[in-house]
């Protein structure tokens, strides 16, 4: 009997990260096609309803769905819930872990509960009154203002005084009803990708100008990446252990990426990305390469791990 090598790749979607998703899914498709998989690209936005999308997926009869979506609708547990209810296997974490990881405020509380250090945070709701004096007294300046449940650094501002707060809130509220204020941690930006139940080499992110915003993240030459990051063996062990503890606490599966800031003394957990990017500038393929996986091998390992119970 001929082995089923059909894979649906979810691409695009409804979020502000749809363009990044299309690049991610295009790279995934190219690599998997070269390994003789039969690929069908499906963009949820092209269907009148999710039920219509499910029909299209089932007609193709894939053995797995590779989730190449990013942001709201693709990374927050919603699409995972639909696929799970239809008993359709898909890559990455399930709906609970995805929802927890996408909510920065909740994920920070959970991480803090098991002793992982997080920046001081304050959550407000769009259109609700807030007291910037109280927030600034608690967090100090500079502080980060960002959507509570979005990615790719969209809607994020770093503010230096109270006068900049309203504009930052307006910017963040375009992408979420919940706005997170976060104490800015001076220092290094580090990330740890998890594959299976193992932490991959740490990657350090060094923007040439400013901070790691959308432009620096997705424009070639704007950021320097050090893989592996220059850390002592003790520092490396600590951040990799913290990343794996958070991954397991949230119930993540197959792969993810865990972001930190490091002030030279403490590693501050920021967030978990349950569907890390797979673009030419993405950090998880970079870390996997240091571990000895080429891009095609990484994708096949993600598929294998995702099919495990």
In this predicted structure, the answer to whether residue 155 has a pLDDT above a threshold of 60 is yes
Write out pLDDT tens, residues 262-275. 999 999 999 999 99
Instruction: Give mean pLDDT, residues 168-194.
Output: 92
Is 277 tagged catalytic? yes
Domain that holds residue 148: 121-183
Dihedral angle of Cα 82, 86, 92, 93, to the nearest 10 degrees:
60
Write out pLDDT tens, residues 277-309. 887 678 999 999 999 999 999 999 999 999 986
E-strand stretches of 52-175: 64-67, 121-125, 143-147, 157-159
Q: What is the pLDDT of residue 223?
A: 79
Looking at the structure, do residues 213 and 112 belong to the same domain, yes or no?
Answer: yes
Q: Omega of the bond prior to 228 within 30 degrees of 0, cis?
A: yes
pTM value is: 0.91
Is 242 tagged catalytic? no
Kindly state the greatest CA–CA separation across the chain: 69
- From the list 152, 173, 216, 306, the catalytic residue is 152
Looking at the structure, do residues 265 and 148 belong to the same domain, yes or no?
Answer: no
Q: Any bridge partners for residue 258, and if so which? A: 192, 272
Write out pLDDT tens, residues 125-151. 987 888 889 999 999 999 999 999 876
Q: What is the pLDDT of residue 295?
A: 94
Looking at the structure, do residues 175 and 191 belong to the same domain, yes or no?
Answer: no
Q: For residue 28, what is the domain's CATH number?
A: 3.40.50.20
Q: What is the pLDDT of residue 59?
A: 97
Tell me which residue of 53, 92, 95 sits closest to 76, measured CA to CA: 95
Looking at the structure, do residues 20 and 154 belong to the same domain, yes or no?
Answer: no
Domain count, the chain: 3
Is 152 tagged catalytic? yes
Is 257 tagged catalytic? yes
Q: For residue 278, what is the domain's CATH number?
A: 3.30.470.20
Looking at the structure, do residues 247 and 127 belong to the same domain, yes or no?
Answer: no
Residue 95 included in any domain: no
Looking at the structure, do residues 236 and 281 belong to the same domain, yes or no?
Answer: yes
Instruction: Give mean pLDDT, residues 219-230.
Output: 81
Is 188 tagged catalytic? no
- From the list 218, 255, 268, 293, the catalytic residue is 218
Looking at the structure, do residues 245 and 108 belong to the same domain, yes or no?
Answer: yes
E-strand stretches of the chain: 6-10, 38-42, 64-67, 121-125, 143-147, 157-159, 178-183, 188-195, 198-199, 203-207, 223-226, 255-262, 267-273
Is 209 tagged catalytic? no
Looking at the structure, do residues 20 and 142 belong to the same domain, yes or no?
Answer: no
Looking at the structure, do residues 17 and 141 belong to the same domain, yes or no?
Answer: no
Looking at the structure, do residues 173 and 260 belong to the same domain, yes or no?
Answer: no
Is 19 tagged catalytic? no
Residue 168 included in any domain: yes
Looking at the structure, do residues 249 and 152 belong to the same domain, yes or no?
Answer: no
Looking at the structure, do residues 215 and 301 belong to the same domain, yes or no?
Answer: yes
Is 187 tagged catalytic? no
In this predicted structure, the answer to whether residue 163 has a pLDDT above a threshold of 70 is yes
Half-sphere exposure for 221 (CA within 13 Å, toward CB): 0
């Amino acid at each position: 009997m001929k082995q089923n090598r059909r894979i649906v790749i979810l691409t695009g979607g409804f979020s502000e990260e749809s363009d990044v998703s299309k690049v991610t899914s295009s790279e995934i498709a190219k690599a998997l096609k070269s390994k003789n998989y039969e690929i069908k690209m499906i963009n949820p936005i092209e269907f009148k309803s999710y039920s219509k999308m499910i029909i299209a997926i089932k007609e193709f009869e894939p053995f797995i769905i590779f989730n190449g979506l990013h942001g709201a609708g693709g990374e927050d547990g919603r699409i995972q819930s639909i696929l799970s209810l239809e008993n359709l296997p898909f890559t990455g974490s399930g709906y609970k872990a995805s929802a927890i990881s996408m909510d920065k405020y909740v994920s920070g509380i959970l991480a803090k509960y098991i002793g992982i250090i997080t920046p001081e945070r304050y959550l407000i709701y769009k259109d609700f009154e807030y007291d910037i004096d109280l927030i600034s007294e608690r967090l100090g300046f500079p502080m980060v203002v960002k959507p509570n449940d979005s990615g790719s650094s969209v809607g994020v501002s770093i503010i230096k005084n109270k006068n900049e707060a309203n504009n930052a809130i307006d910017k963040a509220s375009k992408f979420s009803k919940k706005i997170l204020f976060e104490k800015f941690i001076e220092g290094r930006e580090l990330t740890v990708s998890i594959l299976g139940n193992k932490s991959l080499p740490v990657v350090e992110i060094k923007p040439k100008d400013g901070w790691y915003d959308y432009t620096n993240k997705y424009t070639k030459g704007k950021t320097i990446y050090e893989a592996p990051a220059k850390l002592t063996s003790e520092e490396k062990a600590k951040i990799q252990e913290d990343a794996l503890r958070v991954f397991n606490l949230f119930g993540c599966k197959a792969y993810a990426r865990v972001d930190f800031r490091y002030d030279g003394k403490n590693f501050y957990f920021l967030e978990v990305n349950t569907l890390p990017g797979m673009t030419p500038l993405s950090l998880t393929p970079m870390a996997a390469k240091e571990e000895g996986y080429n891009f095609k091998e990484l994708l096949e390992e993600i598929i294998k791990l995702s099919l495990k119970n």
